[in-house]
């Protein structure tokens, strides 16, 4: 039952008796902030003999004597007793316990369960809570029911007398801030299932704003790491209850398990709790301003203080405030990531409750352990951003958030106010679903132009195979793919940079009987369909020995993706041309760029992905002799939808498997997303995965193709043999390379590091990294000759091999102040030695897509002479219904490779990831 003083900010808790007989009435109970700041002794035995105003730290594991109150700190400690007395006092509790973390508190509570016990829990829970419940269900025989606890009646169907042992609630929930009627559900549970205990995670509110024991809960726990401590300088959890039987069992469990809070942490928590009220007053008042700002801008904002928040009336009835945590949706996961990365005052962290403001994306961080399908089923948006407000000046926090929103492209300043920029994904999109015949000719009659960067591994070559971090970045050397429509039931390819290879297939003669296609929206299985691969090799292509080098694998990858994506009777008929400014086979990700080009083109033509609707066309002048090209408008944010980028990356990885067997995935990821990222391969005891290097600044490099072929598998096998023969030496080298990668990543992501210091630091790391690779035995005389040339006076540049080594390519860092004359002299000298140098920049944009607004007409003169058969032109009926324009295919195939990049960039307004 709620305290009669609750509404006025008072609490009916123990206070001193009048000390003057002249007073005619007793003193009023202390208010909460006074209770927080006033730490009294649990009883007379705890009074400090020296009158200390701060509770002493009894940093002792044992206590002398027999039969005394304390004998062993695991069982009890005076400092912890003061803390637990204080927690009970401010929580309306008879008993309180402190343990090593919030999850340790829940672990103790769930140990009250037995195999076969049933637990009812909410469907919007903290990720760690969900993880523990999953473990109990999987390993301990506990049955868990997840229901929408915002509707009290949803508990009734699974509330079983004799079976239901626990009902676990959060209000507000984390991170959607859903409101649960703790009082209503508690009363319902007591009525229907008296033996069940109601447990409430009160971390979001703390005892200052909500005391669930007053509303019928049996046990309440908090992660005291959060608001109770308030400074994120300790880990702690607290448990409170009023029932003596429950308290006895919890005390027994804590003593048995040994997870009671240490004396020093008890002291820190007790100190932090003194400022709980004053901290939360500031935090929640600022949180209201932040929520109002986001709501006004049009973001879906979750905060109990907003007037339209679902369940607000329930929250107002059981709580004294709205807390300092809120969340909002942007409608675009990639946009959310940019917003989070652009903040300065808001620190990126999985936690909350600190005096410093924090920001996070729950689906990527705190709730990442929940299966994506489960997150989707529970309505947890992948784009959700959670804000945890601290005690900084409100004006500074609001200003920093506005700047992050502007920098990310979410809002702009117009008409003397900040306004939201419409999200392209939420605007009208072309309906590309299969089976919409009106859309098929529209897509089939266009040319689609795709641009994909190469990649360079800046640090960590070879070591990545053995679990060491690699740092890779995109190049402005790119691969280009162009699809041109055919209307004759055939598909054809022209791989201009792979021996100028050309081939065409009759669609009806492909081995469709071997294919079980992947439905639209589904992901390709982890393993390739070897039956399809074999059918393509034996029935759709000549023998590999009868084809030019590298063309066989490229054709197999192309056909495999085309056939696995075909899930309807509609089979797009088109010609695919691929060109590249990247050197092929030099370790610069040319195969990944090719894979991304193919995957993107096929996803578009198979109508498996939605693209932003096209704006009205604007025609721009083209070069003399070029056909007119229709460009996308400048209006709106020109960006490839994140879903398309992610889907492209998945299918490009499939193509890479066809080409290489067991790729790491780093090459295709850089090719799709651009910029720079770090990668750690799973299975080596480190946290695996890829992470973008935020804040990466463009760097100038000289890439030198040694023109010496390399055998990646042989080189990797050689390192493995060396590791087996000399494990200590190789381990030392790999550790050294890991350190280099870590230092390089920190430097590249540090916005405060001066440019000069960055370049000199990277130069030193490049030299050191190369020396370790030489020690691993993966260099080559040609690479060493290139390195000797570039490091000699007057150049004095730092060079290392990239990729697998054994030939391939060398990369040389070119400082900003390096003269163009010296660079040209160096290039000429390298060419004279038979090498092929390229001046490039790293860290640019990723996948780009360009489509004209109008369908095209293909002239028969644009087609390659036999054995290629010319595509048919669109019928006169189609021409009358829609305007057509000339194809750019012939010019694309003929333009000199040195002019290709400039020519491609002038085709129109590209959409980039």
User: Which among 16-30, 64-78, 535-549, 616-630 has the top mean pLDDT?
Assistant: 535-549
Given 3.40.640.10, 3.30.70.890, 3.30.1360.120, 3.30.450.40, which CATH number is that of 696-848?
3.30.70.890
Identify the band that residue 677 occupies on the pLDDT scale cut at 50, 70 and 90. Answer: confident
Ramachandran bin of 51, using left for φ above 0, alpha for ψ from -120 to 50, beta for the remaining angles: left
What pLDDT sits at residue 370? 61
Cα distance between residue 457 and residue 469, in whole Å = 11
Q: Which pLDDT belongs to residue 686? A: 60
Residue 872: what pLDDT? 37
- Phi and psi for 17 in degrees, rounded to 5? -75, 160
Beta-sheet pairing, 347-348 with 325-329: unpaired
Residues above pLDDT 90, as percent of the chain: 49
Q: What is the model's pTM?
A: 0.50
Tell me which of 902 and 60 has the higher pLDDT.
Answer: 60
Compute the average pLDDT of residues 70-79: 90
Q: Which two tokens stand for residue 823?
A: 């660079």
pLDDT tens profile 422-481: 764 433 333 333 233 333 444 556 788 899 998 888 888 766 567 788 888 888 889 999
Rounded Cα gap, residues 429 and 706, in angstroms: 47
Lowest pLDDT segment from 99-108, 534-543, 886-895: 886-895
DSSP state of 82: H
Alpha-carbon distance of 102 to 684, in angstroms, equals 30
Q: What percent of the chain has pLDDT over 70?
A: 83
Cβ-count burial 295-313 (b if 16+ within 10 Å, e if not): bebebebbbbbbeebebbe
Angle CA(190)–CA(194)–CA(198) in degrees, nearest 5? Answer: 60
Query: Over the stretch 339-378, which tens digit does the pLDDT of each residue have?
Result: 999 999 999 988 899 999 999 998 887 666 666 666 666 6
Residue 603 CA to its chain's centroid (Å): 23
Rounded mean pLDDT of 91-112?
A: 96
Backbone φ/ψ region at 9: left (φ over 0), alpha (ψ -120 to 50), beta: left
* pLDDT the model gives residue 613: 55
Backbone angles phi and psi of 3, in degrees to 5: -65, 140
Using CA atoms, how far residue 622 sits from 540, 643, 672, 888, in Å, is 40, 32, 28, 11
pLDDT at 110 (0 to 100): 97
Considering the chain, what is the average pLDDT of its residues? 83
pLDDT score for 617: 43
* 654 and 561 Cβ atoms separated by less than 8 Å: yes
CB-count exposure of residue 605 (10 Å: 0-12, 13-18, 19+): buried
Highest mean pLDDT, choosing among 23-27, 171-175, 683-687: 171-175
Average pLDDT for residues 247-272, to the nearest whole number?
95
Average pLDDT of 571-585?
Answer: 87
DSSP per-residue string spanning 330-379? -S-HHHHHHHHHH-SSSEE-S---SSS-EEE-TTTTTTTTS-HHHHHHTT
pLDDT recorded at residue 415: 62
Between CA 832 and CA 830 the distance in angstroms is: 5
CB atoms near residue 814 (< 10 Å): 22
Is-contact 219 167, C-beta < 8 A? no
> CA gyration radius for the chain?
33
Per-residue pLDDT of 700-717, as tens digits, reads 899 898 988 877 778 878
Backbone phi and psi for residue 501, each to the nearest 5 degrees, phi listed first: -75, 140
**Residue 392: predicted pLDDT:** 95
Continuous segment of H or E residues that includes residue 848 = strand 848-850
Question: Rounded distance, CA 316 to CA 309, Å?
Answer: 11
Instruction: Name, of 226-230, 528-532, 691-695, 879-883, the range with top average pLDDT.
Output: 226-230
Residue 169 CA to residue 265 CA, distance in Å, equals 27
Q: Which tens digit of pLDDT belongs to each residue from 111-151?
A: 999 999 999 999 888 878 988 999 999 899 999 999 999 99
φ and ψ at 161, to 5 degrees? -55, 135
List the one residue out of 807, 839, 809 whose CA is nearest residue 823: 839
CATH topology of domain 32-43+53-274: 3.40.640
Beta-bridge partner residues of 480: 451, 579
3-class DSSP string for 272-311: HHCCHHHHHHHHHHHHHHHHHHHHHCCCEEECCCCCCCCC
Buried b (16+ CB within 10 A) or exposed e, 520-550: beeebeeeebeebbebbbeebbeeeeebeeb
pLDDT at residue 463 in the model: 64
DSSP letter at 78 equals: H
Residues annotated catalytic, as ranges:
74, 126, 201, 226
**Nearest alpha carbon to residue 822 among 794, 863, 856, 860:** 794
Mean pLDDT calculated for residue range 42-65:
78
Is the CB of residue 380 less than 8 Å from the CB of residue 127?
no
Per-residue pLDDT at 427: 33
Contact 843, 474 (CB under 8 A): yes
Mean pLDDT within 529-544: 92
Alpha helices in 606-688 (DSSP H): 642-660, 666-673
Predicted confidence at residue 1, as pLDDT, reads 34
Separation CA 572–CA 592 (nearest Å)? 23
CATH fold group of domain 277-430: 3.90.1150
Q: Is the pLDDT of residue 80 over 80?
A: yes
Q: What is the mean pLDDT of residues 188-199?
A: 94
Is 90 exceeded by the pLDDT of residue 636? Answer: no
Instruction: Tell me the two tokens of residue 493.
Output: 């390819």
What b/e readout covers 25-51, taking b as 16+ CB neighbours within 10 angstroms? eeeebbebbebbeebbebeeeeeeeee
Q: Residue 23 pLDDT > 50, yes or no?
A: no
Give the model's pLDDT for residue 769. Answer: 92
Q: Where are the domains of the chain?
A: 32-43+53-274, 277-430, 696-848
- pLDDT band for position 576 (cuts 50, 70, 90): very high
């Amino acid at each position: 039952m709620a305290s009669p003083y609750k509404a006025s900010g008072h609490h009916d808790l123990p206070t001193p008796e009048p000390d003057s007989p002249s007073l005619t009435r007793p003193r009023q109970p202390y208010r909460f902030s006074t209770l927080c700041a006033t730490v009294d002794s649990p009883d007379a035995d705890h009074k400090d003999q020296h009158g200390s105003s701060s509770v002493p730290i009894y940093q002792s594991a044992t206590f002398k004597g027999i039969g005394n109150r304390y004998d062993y700190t695991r069982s009890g400690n005076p400092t912890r007793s003061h803390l637990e007395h204080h927690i009970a006092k401010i929580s309306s509790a008879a008993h309180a316990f402190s343990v090593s973390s919030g999850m340790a508190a829940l672990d103790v509570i769930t140990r009250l369960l037995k195999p076969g016990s049933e637990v009812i829990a909410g469907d919007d829970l903290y990720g760690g809570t969900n993880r523990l419940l999953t473990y109990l269900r999987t390993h301990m025989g506990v049955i868990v029911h997840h229901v929408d606890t915002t509707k009290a009646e949803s508990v009734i169907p699974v509330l079983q007398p004799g079976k239901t042992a626990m009902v676990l609630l959060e209000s507000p929930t984390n991170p959607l801030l859903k409101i649960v009627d703790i009082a209503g559900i508690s009363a319902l549970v007591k009525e229907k299932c008296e033996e069940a205990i109601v447990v409430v995670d009160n971390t979001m509110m703390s005892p200052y704003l909500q005391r669930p024991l007053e509303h019928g809960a049996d046990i309440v726990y908090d992660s005291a790491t959060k608001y109770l401590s308030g400074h994120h300088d300790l880990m702690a959890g607290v448990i409170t209850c009023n029932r003596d039987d429950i308290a006895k069992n919890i005390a027994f469990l804590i003593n048995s398990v040994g997870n009671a809070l240490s004396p020093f942490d008890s002291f820190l928590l007790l100190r932090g709790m003194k400022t709980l009220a004053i901290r939360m007053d500031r935090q929640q008042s600022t949180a209201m301003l932040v929520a109002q700002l986001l709501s006004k801008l049009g973001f879906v904002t979750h905060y109990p203080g907003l007037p339209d928040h679902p369940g607000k009336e329930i929250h107002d009835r059981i709580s004294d405030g709205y807390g300092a945590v809120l969340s909002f949706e942007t409608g675009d996961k990639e946009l959310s990531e940019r917003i989070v990365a652009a903040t300065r005052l808001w620190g990126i962290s999985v936690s909350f409750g600190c005096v410093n403001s924090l920001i996070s994306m729950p689906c990527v961080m705190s709730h990442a352990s929940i299966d994506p399908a489960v997150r989707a089923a529970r309505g947890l948006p992948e784009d959700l951003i959670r804000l945890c407000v601290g005690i900084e000046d409100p004006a500074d926090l609001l200003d920093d958030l506005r700047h992050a929103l502007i920098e990310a492209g979410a809002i702009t300043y117009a008409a003397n106010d900040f306004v939201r920029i419409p999200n392209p994904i939420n605007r009208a999109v072309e309906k590309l679903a299969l089976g919409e015949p009106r859309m098929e000719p529209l897509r089939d009659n266009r040319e689609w132009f795709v641009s994909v960067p190469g990649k360079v591994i800046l640090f960590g070559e070879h070591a990545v195979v053995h679990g060491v971090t690699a740092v890779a970045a995109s190049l402005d050397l790119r691969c280009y793919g162009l699809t041109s429509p055919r209307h004759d039931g055939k598909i054809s390819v022209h791989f201009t940079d792979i021996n100028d290879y050309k081939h065409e297939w009759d669609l009806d003669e492909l081995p469709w009987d071997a294919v079980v296609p992947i439905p639209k929206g589904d992901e390709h299985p982890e393993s390739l369909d070897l039956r399809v691969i074999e059918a393509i090799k034996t029935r759709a292509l000549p023998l590999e020995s009868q084809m030019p080098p590298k063309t066989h694998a490229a054709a197999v990858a192309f056909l495999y993706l085309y056939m696995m994506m075909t899930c309807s009777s509609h089979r797009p008929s088109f010609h695919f041309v691929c060109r590249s400014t990247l050197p092929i086979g030099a370790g610069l990700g040319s195969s990944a760029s090719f894979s991304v080009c193919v995957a993107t083109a096929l996803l578009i033509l198979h109508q498996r992905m939605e693209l932003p609707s096209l704006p009205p066309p604007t025609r721009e002048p083209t070069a003399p002799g070029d056909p007119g090209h229709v460009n996308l408008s400048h209006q709106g944010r020109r960006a490839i939808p994140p879903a398309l980028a992610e889907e492209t990356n998945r299918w490009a990885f499939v193509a890479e498997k066809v080409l290489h067997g067991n790729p790491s995935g780093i090459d295709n990821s850089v090719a799709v997303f651009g910029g720079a990222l770090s990668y750690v391969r799973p299975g080596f005891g480190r946290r695996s995965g890829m992470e973008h290097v935020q804040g990466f600044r463009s760097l100038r490099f000289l890439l030198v193709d040694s023109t010496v072929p390399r055998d990646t598998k042989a080189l990797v096998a050689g390192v493995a043999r060396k590791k087996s023969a000399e494990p200590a030496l190789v381990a030392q080298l790999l550790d050294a390379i890991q350190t280099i990668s870590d230092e390089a990543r920190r430097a590249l992501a540090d916005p405060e590091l001066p440019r000069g210091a960055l370049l000199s630091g990277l130069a030193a790391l490049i030299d050191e990294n190369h020396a370790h690779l030489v020690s691993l035995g993966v260099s080559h005389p040609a690479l060493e000759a290139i390195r000797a040339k570039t490091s000699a006076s007057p150049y004095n540049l730092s060079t290392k091999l990239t990729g697998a080594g054994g030939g391939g390519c060398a990369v040389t860092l070119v400082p900003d102040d390096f003269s163009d004359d010296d660079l040209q002299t160096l290039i000429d000298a390298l060419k004279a030695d038979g090498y092929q140098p390229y001046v490039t920049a790293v860290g640019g944009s990723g996948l780009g897509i360009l489509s004209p607004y109008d369908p095209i007409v293909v002239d028969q003169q644009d087609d390659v002479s036999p054995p290629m058969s010319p595509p048919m032109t669109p019928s006169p009926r189609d021409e009358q219904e829609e305007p057509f324009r000339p194809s750019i295919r012939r010019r694309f195939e003929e333009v000199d490779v040195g002019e290709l990049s400039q020519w491609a960039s002038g085709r129109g307004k590209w959409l980039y990831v």
